[in-house]
A = this chain, B = another copy of it.
């Protein structure tokens, strides 16, 4: 339920673009026209449009108009590009998801871990290994490090369902942003074992390391997601920066 005007306009325009109300390469109605359509101010409309620009849906051209450059992406099994849980992504793409908890433990961060996680030495952590299945096939091996004091009462049962659901709906935490780094790494024996891949085929994994912050500005999670390379796809839209 959008709580602001610009969000609802953004969602409406986005939906119209996705459903071909405006053809590819066609110009959207001008700002003045859209202002009358939505009965809003120019700023509010422009705020909505600027988000479509960030999404790579449209492109604004001074003096000309706003061009629709949206083209639907061919969906593979798992496509990421936003902050969403495995469950959400699976649902959105119409797949069946299952999560198996391999390990659920807790410890304090040591010096080596502090380097790659970003947590301070001595921080108390829940460490969880989970295997995510999509339509019965193991796709992602997750190593989660959750800040213990920020995620009280976490249990293996919750981890088997959706931790993010617990965070947002039970603890009422708000997830804000997530810094992610994508790399390619050698497949380990653990990867091979759980993802049932033989290294003769692929011997690499797509690895997404992320640091996630809540609305208090606290980094409460570090996660390394190891993806089956043949079912991995990362989408991004970049806007040319000003020099």
Q: Could you tell me which A residues sit within 8 Å of B by CB distance?
A: 2, 7, 25, 53-54, 56, 59, 61, 67, 69, 71, 73, 81-83, 118, 174-186, 202-206, 213, 215-217, 219, 229-230, 232-242
* Distance of A183 Cα from B56 Cα, bound (Å): 19
List 8 A-B residue pairs with CB atoms under 8 Å apart, sorted by A's residue number: A56-B177, A61-B216, A81-B238, A176-B240, A177-B237, A181-B234, A184-B206, A204-B204
Task: List B contacts of A186 (CB < 8 A).
Answer: 202
Count of chain copies: 2
Q: Which of B25, B54, B177, B236 contacts A182 (CB 8 A)?
A: B236
| Apart from A73-B181, A182-B235, A204-B204: 15 A-B pairs, beta carbons within 8 A | A61-B215, A82-B240, A176-B240, A177-B239, A178-B240, A179-B236, A179-B237, A182-B233, A183-B206, A183-B232, A184-B202, A184-B229, A202-B203, A204-B229, A234-B234
